[in-house]
Amino acid sequence: MIGYWIYWMNHEIAAHYANRTEKIVELFREYSDAKAPQKELIARQIRYITEPIPSALIDEALHKQFGRRLDYRSEKSIYMIQTRKAEDEATLILQNRRLMLMVENNEETVVSQMFEALSTITPHFLAVDFRFNGAQWIAQKIEKRKFA
């Protein structure tokens, strides 16, 4: 299983740390390891650099991407997609300031499709792996123009 925490980063933070995501990952890692008094301080820092994620935007983007598929289901703040093989499933759970994406059997196609749908909302989503070992920005693919 692979998994990501996906955060909507503040515009200024996203611009400043565009090529230095390891610093942001370090803050999330410190939060997960911190004890009571320090944990609240780090939580405030995380609230400052992240934005709340509006459920309506997530609903709209995922419905537009997956709505016609028979293997797509959504209920409240949980979105599920089963791939062709029934044992492969992706689950996206909406929390206040982050999304949790879990994918069974390392199905990269579903991850790419989820990232593509989310990138239509904002280029400021940062996907951090569950173990806080790395991160990547979720940005729309820029189509190459063909010139004659």
pLDDT, averaged per 10 consecutive residues of the chain (148 residues), comes to 93 94 95 93 96 94 84 88 72 93 79 90 94 87 48
Q: What is the pLDDT of residue 141?
A: 55
Q: Tokens in use for 4?
A: 């990501």
To the question of pTM greater than 0.85 for the whole model, the response is: yes
Look at phi and psi of residue 123 and say left if phi exceeds 0, alpha if psi is from -120 to 50, else beta.
Answer: alpha
Q: What is the pLDDT of residue 94?
A: 95
Q: What is the rounded (10 degree) CA torsion for 123, 104, 21, 49?
A: 60
Amino acid (one-letter) located at 128: V
CATH of domain 2-131: 3.30.310.250
CA distance 63 to 81: 11
Domain ranges of the chain: 2-131
Q: What is the pLDDT of residue 85?
A: 61
